[in-house]
Amino acid sequence: MTRRIVLVLLTLCLLPVLALAGKGRPAPKAPGAAAVKAGPVLECPASVGLGEPFLLRVRSRQPLAGLELAWLGRTARLSGRMIPAGPDSPGCWEAVALLGTDVGNTALGRHELALRHGRKNRQVVLRAAVEVLPVTRPVERLELAPEFVSPPREAYPRIQAERALTQKFLLGTLSRAATERGWSLPLARPVPGEVSSGYGIGRILNGQPRAPHRGLDLEAATGQPVLAAADGVVLFSGELYYAGNAVYLDHGQGLATSYFHLSERRVATGMRVARGQELGLAGDTGRSTRSHLHFGVWTLGRQVDPEPLFLYDPLP
b vs e for 189-226, b when ≥16 Cβ sit within 10 Å of the residue's Cβ? ebbebeeebbbbeeeebeeeeeebbbbbbbbbebebeb
Domain range for residue 187? Answer: 139-310
pLDDT in tens, 156-181: 999 999 999 988 888 777 766 667 88
Q: Which of 99, 133, 167 is the last residue of a domain?
A: 133
- Answer yes or no: do 293 and 188 share one domain: yes
- Answer yes or no: do 155 and 95 share one domain: no
pLDDT class of 192 with cuts at 50, 70, 90: very high
- Answer yes or no: do 144 and 234 share one domain: yes
pTM score, whole prediction: 0.84
67-77 mean pLDDT: 90
Residue 26 sits in a domain of what CATH number?
Answer: 2.60.40.10
Give me the percent of the chain exceeding a pLDDT of 90. Answer: 55
pLDDT at 32 over 60: no
Q: What is the pLDDT of residue 9?
A: 36
pLDDT at 26 over 60: no
Q: Which of 85, 106, 133 is the last residue of a domain?
A: 133
Of the listed ranges 8-17, 264-273, 276-285, the one predicted with least confidence: 8-17
Phi first, then psi, for residue 280 (nearest 5°) are 175, -165
- Answer yes or no: do 92 and 115 share one domain: yes
Phi first, then psi, for residue 154 (nearest 5°) are -65, -15
Q: What is the pLDDT of residue 202?
A: 82
Q: Which of 84, 111, 133 is the last residue of a domain?
A: 133
Of the listed ranges 123-137, 165-179, 190-204, 205-219, the one predicted with least confidence: 165-179
Q: What is the pLDDT of residue 132?
A: 97
One-letter identity of residue 86: G
Nearest residue to 78 (alpha-carbon basis) of 171, 174, 183: 174
Which residues are within 8 A (CB) of 288 and not within 5 positions of it... i.e. 6 or more apart?
244, 261, 294
Distance CA 122, CA 315 (A): 32
Q: What is the pLDDT of residue 173?
A: 76
Q: Which residue has the higher pLDDT, 192 or 27?
A: 192
Nearest residue to 23 (alpha-carbon basis) of 232, 312, 261, 284: 312
Inside any domain, residue 253:
yes
- Answer yes or no: do 102 and 81 share one domain: yes
- Answer yes or no: do 227 and 90 share one domain: no
- Answer yes or no: do 25 and 127 share one domain: yes
Length of the chain: 316
Residue 215 sits in a domain of what CATH number?
Answer: 2.70.70.10
Inside any domain, residue 73:
yes
Nearest residue to 21 (alpha-carbon basis) of 45, 5, 50: 45
Q: Please state the domain count of the chain.
A: 2
pLDDT class of 224 with cuts at 50, 70, 90: very high
- Answer yes or no: do 194 and 264 share one domain: yes
287-307 mean pLDDT: 93
- Answer yes or no: do 122 and 255 share one domain: no
The mean predicted confidence, pLDDT, of the chain is 85
Asked whether 215 and 306 are in contact (CB, 8 A), the reply is yes
Distance CA 20, CA 305 (A): 14
Q: Which residue has the higher pLDDT, 293 or 25?
A: 293
Kindly give the residue spans of alpha helices, DSSP state H, lying in the chain.
2-14, 33-38, 156-175
pLDDT in tens, 5-23: 333 333 334 333 333 333 4
Q: Which residue has the higher pLDDT, 206 or 98?
A: 98
Pairing of strands 202-205, 208-210: antiparallel
37-52 mean pLDDT: 88
Inside any domain, residue 316:
no
Nearest residue to 290 (alpha-carbon basis) of 209, 192, 224: 224
pLDDT in tens, 82-111: 888 877 767 889 999 999 999 988 999 999
Which residues are within 8 A (CB) of 149 and not within 5 positions of it... i.e. 6 or more apart?
205, 206, 208, 210
Q: What is the pLDDT of residue 175?
A: 66
- Answer yes or no: do 178 and 224 share one domain: yes
Q: Which residue has the higher pLDDT, 204 or 187?
A: 187
- Answer yes or no: do 108 and 22 share one domain: yes
Q: What is the pLDDT of residue 130?
A: 97
Nearest residue to 61 (alpha-carbon basis) of 28, 93, 13, 95: 93
- Answer yes or no: do 56 and 199 share one domain: no
C-alpha torsion sign, points 252, 230, 112, 105: negative
